[in-house]
Amino acid sequence: MGFEWIKIPYSLLTLFIVVNYGLLLNALIAKIAARVGRRHGIPIWQNYVDMIKNYGLRTSITHGVMFYMGPVFRLSGGVGLLLFVPTIYGSVMFSNLSFAGDLILALYFVFFGTLGMALGAGESGHPYAAIGVSRGLAQVTAAELPFALAVFAVALQYETLSVTEIVAAQQGSYLNWTLFTNPFAVAAAMLSFLGSMMRPPFDVVLAPQEIPIGPPTEYHSSYLALMQTNRAIFPIAKMVVYMNLFFGGAVSWPIFFVKIFLIYMVSVLVGVVFPRFHVEHSVRWFLIWAVPLGVIAVAIV
Amino acid sequence: MIELYEQLKQRYALGEISVQRFDLVFITVPRENLASLLLYLRDTEGFTHLVLLTAVDWIEDNKFQLTYLINNRESATDLGLRVIIDRDEASMESIHDLWPTAATYQRELKEMFGIDFPGSPRIDEDFILEGWTEIPPYRRDFDTLEYSRDTYLERPGRSTSDPAQHMKQLFYPEDKD
Amino acid sequence: MSIRNILSPFTAWKYLFRDPVTIPDPLNDRPGSPRYRGFHKNDMKKCIGCGTCEAICQNGAIDMVAVEGIDASKEDSGLRPNIDYGRCCWCALCVDVCMTGSLTMSNEYKWVESNPDAFRFTPGVDKKHWDNAALGYHRPDGYQLTGRVREQMPELEPAKRIESFDEIVQGYDVEQAKLEADRCVACGLCIATCPAHMAVPDYIAAVRDGDYERGLKILYDTNPFSQICGRVCTHRCETVCAARHEGDPIAIRWLKRHITEQVPRDRYRAIIGDPAPPTGKSVAIIGAGPAGMTAAYDLARKGHAVTVYEALPHAGGMTRYGIPEYRLPYETIQHEMDLILSMGVTIHYDTRIGSDITMQQLEQDFDAVILAIGLQMGRSTRIPGSEHAGVKKAVDLLRRITEGEHIDAPKSMVVIGGGNVAMDIARSMARLQKQQHGSIDVTLTALEDLNHFLADPDEIKESLEEGVNILDSRGPQQCQVDAEGNLTGLKTWKVLSIFDQQGRFAPSFDETDEQIHPAEMVVEAIGQMSDVNLLGEELTERLEWNRGRIQIDTNGRTSESWLWAAGDCVTGPDVVSAVAAGHQVAKSIDAVINPVEALTHA
Amino acid sequence: MAYTPDRSQYPQKKADGSLDIDLTSGKYLKLWQGPQHPGITGNMSIELTVCGDEVAEGRTHVGYLHRGFEKLMERRTFIQNFPIVCRICVPEPDFNEYCYAAAVEELAGIEVPERADWIRALILEMGRINSYLMYLGGQAGALGQAVIGQWSTYVRDLMLDRFEELTGARIYHMFIMPGGVRDNLPTGFRTRMEHTLGEIENALRDIHNVMFRNAVFEKRTRGIGVIEKEWLDSYGVTGPCIRAAGVPRDVRKDQPYLVYDQLDFDPVIGKDSDIYTRADVRRRDLLLSVDLIRQILSRMPQDDGPTMATTPNVLHWKIEPGETYVRGECSRGEYGYYLVTDGSGYPRRVNVRGPSYTHAMALFERMVVNCNIADVAALLVSLHTYPPEIER
Amino acid sequence: MDKKTHKDPAKTSAELPSVDLNPPEVQPQKPPAPPAERTIELPEELRKRTVKGPGGVEIEVEPLRDYYCEAPPTVMPAAYSKIVEDLFNWARAESIWILGFGTGCGAIEMRPLMTPRYDAYRYGIQWRPTPRQANLFVISGYLSVKTLKRAIRSYEQMQNPKYVVGLGSCTINGGMYWDSYNTIKRLDEYLPVDLYITGCMPRPEALLAGFMDLKRMIRAGEAEGANKYAEYFDWYKANQKRVIKDWDMPDYSW
């Protein structure tokens, strides 16, 4: 199979749509959370303004090469994740650079950003960033474990490592979704999803009240803007993976938007109303609740 | 409270008593009796709560008055013990071993009045102020207004007139006095 | 970890479907509450610039500044509070303490500026958009930070005081005086109004502190007639007192009296101190009234040799011969005079200038001469019958009473005049009537209506209490004489107006409203004039005159370089004005006859 | 189950009892929380020496808000002090006004009209509600539950509206003056107050459901930050902190001031003395205050009458020599003013005893040892300290 | 371990050519206090020291030089194109991130702003816990000298352009602490202030009004406090050092 160059502009188009959707979705989620707090919240376009503002700041300070590379790594993690999984099933334009073994790559990219961030934040020299990073790594590792198990289960179930094929297998009826064919795997993955979305009760990494927002403490100006961009892409990309693996993918943009929104809402539903766990609590929680589910999922398959 | 005073008087040399309210009495105590008296009051008479420890500067007499206010939670009564110490080289025995929290009060007194409490934890550390170089600010001879005027500049351009002087200027400026 | 504790938090999501509670437009929807302590307002019409707001402000936020377009008057310093919002804490103490209630607060609270110096303004002068805000903090009714009500002065009961010439006013006791002195806010508005510019707030402070010796020192610095003024001063200061706007003015006069009463008389001399060493200059003073004696006191204290010539047997002038004893006991006057004389003043009683000694002699013997002869002749109404022997002049009668002459009190009498002298004679005669006949029948008629009497309201009140029948707005027309030539009464008409449209004295009457007041004696108390015969013709010729009075410059000096004039004879009847004039001439003379000394003092 | 090592041996101590902490060993990390730190209660800071996630030593640093009130008050007259005292404690300023006024009245021998006493009690309870509401938001916020703060601040704001219409200001009310209170209740105040109280009760019901009946919240607060029984006296613990330890100590009940002897209530107490219990005690105390306000409004004199006693002219007010201590039960514990007069127009000495003084300093420094750094913010909040009253 | 002897702060300010350096509207009233000879002990972590690295390598560390940049700030030019600068200014105005540092009592009225009643978020105003990401420093009331020190460091860590709003009377002319020995009187002597909101305490509505005004200034390109700070850096430093008697920190800490 020869590489089709047309895929590159198509992928960039996907990226463009996702960035905008991500920015708007983040704002919408913020508005929803604000609504629970009985207020209106930010305007829907606020994230764009913030980004322009941050890019437009006149000074920025670097603490070293890795400090600069941190957001870049993170962004490439997000972009990479997005580009190597198909966004819209069955669409040539938006299947991106998906290929046979992309599931493994996706798993790698999920972790990649965090690692990059860890290196960058470590370089920033701020003790709270260091604490945040160590918490983040511990928690992400714990949260990745059930996810990996779930992915493993799914891969076993569909006997493929290609996301496209997994999505294809779920087409037809919503009863074909992994959600119904392998609920344990989905449950394990969704618990892990809670842990990776940086929302309570698993946001001890950022924890503004303890370690002023943790790893990104020192990030500012265009670095921060870069991270904001990533914050629009990465969760969406991750949810694309979830959507593809467990919720039957999307065959068109509207379905994509709705599904992503709903998946996002899962973490918000929990996040808005709970306080946060300790990192020990959350690690223990993943190991006690999520990992067994993943194991069961694998076992059942 | 008076009974308690009479009873204490049997055992300790006590100074004058002033009854402020039915539940609040101040007694002057010689400094050497203070620690044992406090211990006795805390352990035997139930005055277990150290409400406050502070000082009053009687600069005219060149004395500091230390006030130890203790409270009996059961009988809901307060007892203020006054200790008069010299203002020069002011120093007093620490009571942080009776109430750990007294260390904080003593730190403040050291910083704000310059009263030393040898042996009290972290007594020489900065507490509230930072890099203070003048005389301790709560002493009466420290003039806060003057210090503030010299250190922190005011916004210029203000002036005021005294009504009487102003009217004099207008109506009878020739009068000397 | 029960299942309830996991599910219960999700109830929070119910608010997703409810409207937010956010205020849609907080910038405009939220006026301050009716009591809100927002930005200051000041009613320029009410503010008197007393500076009490400045005094109470613990933040030093208020400056009193002169404002263009607002002129000072006797009861308004012309200053206005300028508030620094870089200091203010909106505690509203200034509003609470404001003596006139002019200072209030609006309910406006938004003020943003880039320039930090812009936050100073004079409310009421610098126009602000909240100047007309209806809501905002005003001092609530029924509470006050300074006393409003004057301490009641203990006085003899009317029934008792009419029996004798005993002093009516008893004086404050220490407690009362402290309370009264406590009300003073020490704004000092009164100082400018007092002709002698006495340091009123300072001596009131001395009363508060109970330091009467300090108070006495302050008093005698500016007024050697303090004991007298403490009783009979016209106390114009009290008419401009800041406290009068929302309460009674401070009883400044009574506090002055209180100080003089609290210090033992034998301490006075020591407190006031000795005069300066002799300068070798000499001054003659004609008339031992307030003006003359004040000048004598001042000059003697400066070390000049002072000689006073008095035509009557006692010093004190009008304060002694014009004011009845029930208002001002003679022994008080005597003490005051003795005090002045103790400064080294020589006095010659019963010495009349012009007959006993001439002005020319004085001119030669002394470096300067002061004419302080006062107003000793009563004016006449010149109505028909006023030349009758039963028609008397008030000043003459009062002098005779003082001199201890026996006066046959008429059974009934009428007094013409609405001033203090009229009240004095009416009440004095009422006492005599009471003593001689056991009953009172005194009628007092005046042109003015009761609200415009020249007499003190207290005098009027006390006269009424003592049974004097006061008829206001009555113009005297004729003294009725019967066939035997006895005085039978006074005919009066109702007054319609006193002044014409140009403001000149031209009373008009309602002739149909005629009354006859039966009386055996009619006393005219419509003013006094000066007897200047003592000057001698030659000097009278040389001097310049102004409407019948000797012309003087601002320092009290006449056109003759050696002669000064002071007191009622040039300024009109008022004790404290006379005192002020005495100071004035003393200062002027001192500067002239002792220029070096004056320069070093200046 | 979970591994719970005995931490009482840590950090290791030297022979003289001081902590054996060698910063150069690389084992320990110095960590500053504050003053610019969102987890700190106001402008103060704590200097933590941590070993891993565990705090080996904590030191409270205050003084960032020091204005020298006690000095400033010595050069202000008795009336001039009344506007400045409320600034000592921002979230609950009224106790300063009350304690100062009561101390001055006691030494000056001024009898306050009864109506003023009722209004004072009303204001103090309103202030207590505000303070607790702020605490609840802070406690949940310190654990990452932002929504509680949104709700509680909203109802607190409604209460501020009541404050505004009663006293003329939102934060610094300056309403309780030496001599009484400035004014009567505005017309219609009772109705609006009842409405506000209803809103507060609704919000508290929600907060109870979302915050207190919350598995994660319990996980984070049960058994954490326990004040031991023997610390209660030696560290001068008062207020909800001591009541959460099961000691029914409430100045309102023990030494009733104002009109508290005419109101029906029992001190709210807890049992476990941990963060959760303290939060719960405060929540129930808040409800008690709601009830007390209802009692006050129904029992106070219904007509308008004088609310101020006659004082001497405040410009020259002097008070005879004397000294006194006046206390009240504020939302954080015992609040008191020690006032010494010397016969002049100025206080000789004023000493403000805020509950935060002992809680945030000695007690907190003791409690923070062996605490997880993630719990430090929650622990500090649970002591409910306001820095300005520590340093004044 | 050698103690670093600092130049006396007062002396430093006296050496400055203060007249032409002054921002026009802020003239110092009187010469600084006479110098008092004393040395300031640096906190332990800022002193020069030798650190043993892995493998026995000894490294000389001089924290003030190594960890901080002592170069003063520079005036940053606006974007080269007016349209771009206008766009940036618009974005800056619509996205104001406030540093969550409650320096004084005014902090209490910030919380209502963040919460339902006032909900400043809808105006593009947010709070950031770290100075790096914040654009607006609200000095909420009086500043004690001890806090001033922290405020300066926080301010310097913020990125250009940055704004300062003085909240309450105390920032204007000392407020009710005008005679306190521990609080500054004029904020503009130490930091460039864009806007003042008077009141004690200013209500949330007044704060919002201030923020709206600040937005207008930012949009108009008038809020150039950071550049002003850089331009008159020596003047500001001299003022700061005059009141912070124990200057034991780097001269500029970004």
- Residue D334's DSSP bridge partners are D329
For helices A127-158 and A183-196, give the axis angle rounded to 10 degrees: 160
What integer pLDDT is reported at residue E54 of this predicted model?
Answer: 61
Burial of C350 per CB tally in 10 Å (0-12, 13-18, 19+): exposed
Cis peptide before A201 (omega within 30 of 0): yes
Strands C521-524 and C368-371: unpaired
Tell whether C601 lies on the interface with B, counting CB pairs under 8 A.
yes
pLDDT (mean) for A52-68 = 79
Q: Nearest CA of chain A to the CA of C24: how many Å?
A: 10
Does B176 score more than 70 pLDDT?
A: no
Contact C191, B164 (CB under 8 A): yes
Mean pLDDT, residues D31-41 taken together: 74
Q: Of C341, C380, C321, which is closest to residue C529 (Cα–Cα)?
A: C380
CATH code that applies to domain B2-157? 3.30.460.80
Question: pLDDT by residue (tens digit) across D316-375?
Answer: 888 889 999 999 998 888 899 999 998 888 999 999 988 888 888 888 888 888 888 888
The closest of C215, C166, C568, C153 to C331, measured between CA atoms, is C166
Touching, D vs A (3+ Cβ pairs under 8 A)? yes
DSSP state of B116: B
**Where does residue C467 fall: left (phi above 0), alpha (psi -120 to 50 degrees), or beta otherwise?**
left
Interface contact C144-D79, CB threshold 8 A: no
pLDDT band for E20, please (50, 70, 90 cuts). Answer: very low
pTM (two decimals): 0.87
Q: Picking from A30-34, A176-180, B96-100, which range would have the lowest pLDDT averaged per residue? A: A176-180
Nearest-Cα distance to chain A for E128, in Å, is 9
Query: Do residue C389 and residue C517 come from a single domain?
Result: yes
* All structural domains of chain E with their residue ranges: 82-232
Nearest residue in chain A measured CA to CA from C15:
A36
Q: Contact D102/D131 with Cβ under 8 angstroms? A: no
**Which chain E residues are closer than 8 Å to B157 by Cβ?**
none
Are A95 and A86 in contact, with CB atoms under 8 Å apart?
yes
Which among C241, C271, C301 is the end of a domain?
Answer: C271
Report the CATH number at residue C228: 1.10.1060.10
Contact assignment for E189 to B153 by CB distance below 8 Å: yes
How far is CA E113 from its chain centroid?
A: 22
- Whole-Å CA distances, A236 to A82, A143, A239, A270: 8, 18, 5, 18
pLDDT digits (tens, 9 = 90+) for B31-64: 888 888 888 888 888 888 888 899 999 988 899 9
Name which of A197, A206, A44 is nearest A135 in CA terms.
Answer: A206
If DSSP codes are grouped into helix, strand and coil, which group holds residue A51? helix
**Domain tally for chain C?**
4
> C545 falls in which pLDDT band (50, 70, 90)?
confident
Residue C6 lies in a domain: no
E162 touching chain B per CB within 8 A: no
pLDDT band at A36 (very low <50, low <70, confident <90, very high): confident
Cβ–Cβ below 8 Å for C192 and B160: no
Contact D168 C35 (CB under 8 A): yes
| Facing D213 at nearest CB: one of C5, C90, C137 | C5
**Of residues B24, B99, B138, nearest to D234 (C-beta):** B99
Domain ranges, residue C467: 378-526
Gap from C110 CA to chain A (nearest CA, Å): 24
Looking at the DSSP bridge assignments, the partners of residue D325 are: D338
Task: Sort out which chain C residues have CB atoms less than 8 A from D313's CB and list them.
Answer: 145-147, 182-185
Query: Can you give C375-392 as a three-state secondary structure string?
Result: CCEECCCCCCCCCCCCEE
Tokens of D52: 């891993």
Q: Is E168 left (phi over 0), alpha (psi -120 to 50) or beta?
A: left
Return the closest-CA partner of residue D58 out of D6, D21, D15, D14.
D21
Q: Does the beta carbon of E30 lie under 8 angstroms from any beta carbon of chain C?
A: no
Beta-carbon contacts below 8 Å between D and E: 91
State whether residue E220 sits within 8 Å of chain D by CB. no
Q: For residue C410, what are the CA distances in angstroms to C437, C463, C520?
A: 9, 18, 6
Taking each helix axis from N to C end, the angle separating A127-158 and A102-123, rounded to the nearest 10 degrees, works out to: 180
Measured in residues, chain C has a length of: 602
pLDDT the model gives residue D102: 92
Q: Which chains pack against B, by 3+ Cβ pairs within 8 A?
A: C, D, E
Mean per-residue pLDDT, C389-417: 85
Distance, CA of C434 to CA of D71 (rounded, Å): 67
**Closest to E122 (Cβ–Cβ): which among A42, A216, A224?**
A42
CB-based contacts of E202: which residues, under 8 Å, 6+ apart? Answer: C109, E106, E109, E167, E168, E210
Closest Cα in chain C to E119? C22
Least confident of A175-189, B130-144, D14-28: D14-28
E175 and chain D in contact, CB less than 8 A: no
Yes or no, beta carbons of B73 and D254 under 8 Å apart = yes
Give the nearest chain C residue to D210 (CA atoms): C9
CA terminus-to-terminus distance, chain D: 47
CA-based nearest residue to D128, from D169, D98, D105: D98
ipTM of the complex: 0.84
- pLDDT grade, residue D100 (50/70/90)? very high
Q: Which residue in chain A has the smallest CA separation from C11? A: A273
Contact at CB, D66 and B129, closer than 8 angstroms:
yes
Cβ within 8 Å of A, C 5-34? 9-10, 12-13, 15-16, 18, 20-22
How close does chain E come to A59, measured CA to CA in Å?
A: 6
B23/B44 Cα distance (integer angstroms): 18
Cβ distance D340 to B137 less than 8 Å, yes or no, reads no
| Touching chains A and B? (3+ Cβ pairs < 8 A) | no
Q: For residue A291, is pLDDT > 80?
A: yes
The class (CATH top level) of E82-232 is: alpha beta
Task: Please write the tens of the pLDDT for every residue from C405-457.
Answer: 888 888 888 888 888 888 888 888 888 888 888 888 888 888 888 888 888 88
Q: DSSP secondary structure string, A42-73?
A: S-TTHHHHHHHHHHH-S-----SHHHHHHHHH
> The tokens 């420890």 sit on which residue?
B53
Residue C100 near residue C47 (C-beta atoms within 8 A):
yes
Written as one letter, the residue type at C364 is: Q
E12: confidence class by pLDDT, cuts 50, 70, 90: very low
Does the distance separating the beta carbons of D36 and E150 come in below 8 Å? yes
Q: Chains meeting E at 3+ CB pairs closer than 8 A?
A: A, B, C, D
Most confident listed range (B19-23, C245-249, C366-370, D130-134): D130-134
Any chain D CB within 8 A of the CB of B126?
yes
Interface membership of D357 toward B (CB under 8 Å): yes
Q: Which among A33, A209, A277 has CB closest to D216?
A: A277
- Min Cα separation C86/chain A (Å): 32
Interface of E with D in 54-93 (CB under 8 A): none
Asked whether residue C482 is assigned to any structural domain, the reply reads: yes
Same-domain pairing of C502 and C416: yes
Domains along the sequence of chain D with CATH: 7-61 (no CATH), 73-391 (1.10.645.10)
Of C229, C226, C256, which is closest to residue C574 (Cα–Cα)? C229
Given this model, what pLDDT does residue D233 score? Answer: 85
Chains that touch D (3 or more CB pairs under 8 A): A, B, C, E
User: In the beta sheet, which residues pair with residue C528?
Assistant: C378
In percent, the amount of chain C with pLDDT more than 70 equals 98
The pLDDT tens digits for C93-139 are 899 888 888 999 998 888 998 888 888 889 888 888 888 888 888 88
Helix (H, G, I), strand (E, B) or coil at C182: helix
Question: Do C196 and C324 share a domain, yes or no?
Answer: no
- Among D18-27, D117-126, D127-136, which is the least confidently predicted range? D18-27
CA-CA-CA-CA dihedral for E238, E239, E243, E247, to nearest 10: -30
- Give pLDDT, residue E18: 34
User: Considering chain D, what is the average pLDDT of its residues?
Assistant: 86
Contact A133, A172 (CB under 8 A): no
Does residue B59 sit at the D interface (CB-CB below 8 Å)? no
Q: Is the pLDDT of residue E10 over 50?
A: no
What are C169's strand-pairing partners? C155
Contact (Cβ atoms closer than 8 angstroms) between residue C281 and residue C594? yes
Q: Contact D151/A38, CB-based, under 8 Å?
A: yes
Indicate the average pLDDT of chain C. 85
Domain assignment present for C283: yes
CB E164 within 8 A of CB E137: yes
Q: How confident is the model at residue D197 (pLDDT cuts 50, 70, 90)?
A: very high
How far is the alpha carbon of C31 from chain E, nearest alpha carbon, in Å? 10
d(CA E254, CA E251): 10
Q: What is the pLDDT of residue D6?
A: 60
Reported as a pLDDT band with limits 50, 70 and 90, residue A40 is confident
Checking if the pLDDT of A300 tops 90, the result is no
Q: What is the mean pLDDT of chain A?
A: 80
Angle at C31 between CA E100 and CA C138, to 5 degrees: 110
pLDDT band, very low/low/confident/very high, at C280 (cuts 50, 70, 90): confident
CB contact under 8 A, E95 and A221: no
Query: Which tens digit of pLDDT belongs to each residue from C134-188?
Result: 888 888 887 788 888 888 888 888 888 888 888 888 888 888 888 888 888 888 8
**C36: burial class by Cβ within 10 Å (0-12, 13-18, 19+)?**
buried
Q: How far is E90 from chain A (nearest CA, A)?
A: 8
CB-side neighbour CA atoms (13 Å) of E192: 23
Task: Determine contact: C114 vs chain E, CB below 8 A.
Answer: yes
Q: Quote the tokens at residue E176.
A: 């009710």
Portion 69-108 of E in contact with A at CB < 8 A: 76-79, 87-88, 91-92, 94-95, 97
Q: Are D57 and D49 in contact (CB under 8 A)?
A: yes
